[in-house]
Structures are given as structure tokens and as C-alpha cells.
């Protein structure tokens, strides 16, 4: 499983809009390197941010 995702991929996984992912990266100081974002760093930083409510993760369908 990839750990460095594009803003679009990360938006899909986190339930946010692409624009919101980029804005949150800038706000929280999460680097975007070569168009990719570290998924673990982004999600950990997002959980610590008091003004963000993460949607419930969707169950994977087989």
C-alpha cells in the first residue's frame, strides 16, 4: 500500500475535498513533495487539529 499519495488520492481516502487536503497541508505544515503527501503524517496531523471532523472510514468492498 502506498504511503505517499497525490492530493486527489488522499482526498478520496480521507473523505475530504482535494482543495481541503491542500489547504490543510499548508495550515498544518505538512509538506507536499513532488506532488505527493505522506498519508500517515497528514492523517496524524489532521486528527490533532481540533476544528476538523474526519468522516468514518468506509468499509472496503470485495
Residues 3-55: pLDDT tens digits?
Answer: 999 999 999 988 899 999 999 999 999 999 999 999 999 999 988 877 766 65
> Residue 49: what pLDDT?
79
**Number of structural domains found in the chain:** 1
Residue 55 lies inside a defined structural domain of this protein: no
Residue 23 lies inside a defined structural domain of this protein: yes
Residue 26 lies inside a defined structural domain of this protein: yes
Q: Which domain holds residue 23?
A: 4-48
Q: What is the pTM of this model?
A: 0.76
Say if residue 1's pLDDT is above 80. no
Residue 12 lies inside a defined structural domain of this protein: yes
> Residue 2: what pLDDT?
72
Residue 25 lies inside a defined structural domain of this protein: yes
Residue 53 lies inside a defined structural domain of this protein: no
What SS3 state is found at 38? strand
Contacts 24+ apart (CB under 8 A), 22-25: 24/49, 24/52
Residue 19 lies inside a defined structural domain of this protein: yes
Amino acid at each position: 500500500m502506498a504511503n505517499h499519495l497525490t492530493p486527489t488520492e488522499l482526498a478520496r481516502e480521507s473523505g475530504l475535498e482535494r482543495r481541503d487536503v491542500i489547504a490543510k497541508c499548508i495550515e498544518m505544515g505538512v509538506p507536499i513533495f513532488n506532488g505527493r503527501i505522506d498519508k500517515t503524517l497528514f492523517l496524524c496531523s489532521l486528527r490533532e487539529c481540533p476544528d476538523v471532523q474526519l468522516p468514518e472510514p468506509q468499509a472496503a468492498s470485495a
